Amino acid sequence: MASEYESVRSRILSGENRRPSLPTFAFAPLSPTSPPRSQRSSIPLSLPSPGSTLFDSSAPDHCTFISSLSTHIRHLSESRLSQGFLHLHASPIHSPTYLPDTSQTYSHITGLFRRIDISFYNLSPARLESFLSHLIIRFIHSSTYLSNTGTDLSTTSKICHSIFSSTGIAELNLPNTEGYRSELDAISSQGHPPTLTAILRGREAVVHYTNALVYFIQSLIRPNGELTQDLIKETHRILVQDSDPVDDKTWEQFGGWYRDYRLVSVNEGENEGEIDKDTTTAERAHRALSVESPISRRASSVYPITPLSEEGRRLSLETDRSRRESINPAAVGMYMSKLVYSYHAQLALDKSQADGGEANFSDPFALSAWLVCQFLHIHPFVVGNEEMGRIILAGVLMKKLGIVAIIGEDKKVGRVEYMGILERYMERHRGEGAAEEGDEEAYSEFAALVVRKALSCVGEFAAMVGSS
């Protein structure tokens, strides 16, 4: 176990360029374990036409979501005070190229958390819950925008409030109203036809994403809640519920199930039947987890069909010279097991440091960025990986610090920035044996983005607490 601690620590704290070694395994004919049964959602997952009842209030879990967040954050604040305030230490992984004045930024974040904790006892529960509700709604709206799905902020807010409170509403926006025209504008900005069908699909995307986010965060912040493969699988199942078929598979067949194929580039003049004939089983296993760029995946919901960059257009053309190669989902599960274990190993090391008198020794932003980037590199599901990555990011930051990082809130500018970072990350991991010196670069840029967006959230939190 000590070696696992050192492996993660070398990535997150020491700034070394080596990736932890991944397990070797054979492609035995194993069947993936069935994901746990989904808990009943508080929302019917097929949307009726405007004017009819959209939600019901039959599930108690969502009724307490915002209040449970409030309770969790109060406990975090009390814990930080009992340990002598929060001590955030920037990881050496940060680069001045992406995050100038790193020490000053982390000192500023630490100071904001101290201001929050000192004045927290003055904050009324109603004010805190209102702030958290608005914060999560903004996160959901921005995340669905990045996926080219969803609807406008006002309608997203109505749907989210209905899920958070489980109160149910009679109708959203009817045709020929100002709110309906706002939804049409939002749909058009995503490149979809401004039709009633597109609006209903956008609302449905918000329903599923919100249900998945609520399930993930609520499961994670419980006293004994922790990140597990089962939690990730079940969240994905909720996320893609009622999605269109993919590769002739219904959502029940790919929701919560690890992928069973990868795309292999077929070069001109190459004999497809002889690919991999000289590779070992371990090498084939590693190549099976080498993931194509999200831009080249036509099923991805984050990137538009026409990529923004010249590099994206080149990768899209490469897709036309690709073929599918079957892989065992158990191979994907092995990599996911390694990822989850390494994450918990770092948290266990943090706890041992805290017991020795120094709280929160690691950099939670670098650790969460590493977790999400590695998740995207594994690319465990056929669709919905980018959406799941943002859900994981929100969940681990909420559990650790009581905040979220809202990515993409500045619309087109934010989308271009976010997509560019993921493009560069995937490109650095493309092909056989990614260069070791590229490892640090691969997620330090994303870590800097997480820090900036988290800083914005903490600043809003501190201003709200200070004005109470």
Q: What DSSP line would sit under 171-182, residue for residue?
A: -SPPTTSHHHHH
What pLDDT was estimated at residue 329?
92
410 phi, psi to nearest 5 deg: -85, 30
pLDDT digits (tens, 9 = 90+) for 102-147: 999 999 999 999 999 999 988 999 999 999 999 999 999 999 999 9
What pLDDT was estimated at residue 430?
63
326 phi, psi to nearest 5 deg: -70, 140
Segment 242-268 shows an average pLDDT of 86
In this prediction, residue 265 has a pLDDT band, given cuts at 50, 70 and 90, of: low
The answer to whether residue 212 scores a pLDDT higher than 80 is yes
What pLDDT was estimated at residue 82?
85
pLDDT digits (tens, 9 = 90+) for 441-467: 778 999 999 999 999 999 999 999 988
Helix (H) or strand (E) holding 273: none
Range list of β-strands (E), 159-272: 261-265
> Considering the chain, what is the average pLDDT of its residues?
76
72: CB partners within 8 A, 6+ apart: 221, 398, 399, 402
State both tokens at 446.
């994303």
144 phi, psi to nearest 5 deg: -70, -30
Determine contact, residues 205/383, Cβ cutoff 8 Å: no
Alpha-carbon distance of 68 to 239, in angstroms, equals 21
- Ramachandran class of 176: left when φ > 0, alpha when ψ lies in -120 to 50, beta otherwise: left
- Of the candidates 214, 266, 263, the one whose C-alpha atom is nearest the C-alpha of residue 382 is 263
Segment 267-273 shows an average pLDDT of 44
The amino acid occupying position 62 is H
Alpha-carbon distance of 281 to 271, in angstroms, equals 20
Pairing outcome for strands 261-265 and 322-326: antiparallel
pLDDT digits (tens, 9 = 90+) for 62-110: 448 999 999 999 999 999 888 877 888 898 889 899 999 999 999 999 9
Who has greater pLDDT, 269 or 322?
Answer: 322
**Is 116 inside a domain boundary?**
yes
What pLDDT was estimated at residue 353?
60
What pLDDT was estimated at residue 322?
67
Q: Residues, the chain, total?
A: 468
Alpha-carbon distance of 244 to 236, in angstroms, equals 15
What pLDDT was estimated at residue 50?
32
Alpha-carbon distance of 228 to 392, in angstroms, equals 11
What residues make up the domain containing 61? 2-15+33-269+278-466
**Is 155 inside a domain boundary?**
yes
Total count of domains within the chain: 1
Alpha-carbon distance of 19 to 22, in angstroms, equals 9
Helix (H) or strand (E) holding 325: strand 322-326
Name the percent of the chain lying above pLDDT 70. 68
Q: Is 298 helix (H, G, I), strand (E, B) or coil?
A: coil
The answer to whether residue 272 scores a pLDDT higher than 80 is no
**What's the pTM?**
0.77
Alpha-carbon distance of 381 to 385, in angstroms, equals 6
In this prediction, residue 28 has a pLDDT band, given cuts at 50, 70 and 90, of: very low
CATH code for position 106: 1.10.3290.10
The answer to whether residue 437 scores a pLDDT higher than 80 is no
**Is 324 inside a domain boundary?**
yes
Alpha-carbon distance of 464 to 468, in angstroms, equals 6
**Is 20 inside a domain boundary?**
no
Distances (CA, A) of 372 to 53, 76, 158, 214: 37, 23, 29, 18
What pLDDT was estimated at residue 87?
82
pLDDT digits (tens, 9 = 90+) for 417-436: 998 998 888 777 664 444 44
**Is 312 inside a domain boundary?**
yes
Segment 391-416 shows an average pLDDT of 93
Segment 188-216 shows an average pLDDT of 94
Who has greater pLDDT, 354 or 200?
Answer: 200
**Is 25 inside a domain boundary?**
no
Segment 31-44 shows an average pLDDT of 39
Determine contact, residues 231/220, Cβ cutoff 8 Å: yes
Alpha-carbon distance of 20 to 256, in angstroms, equals 26
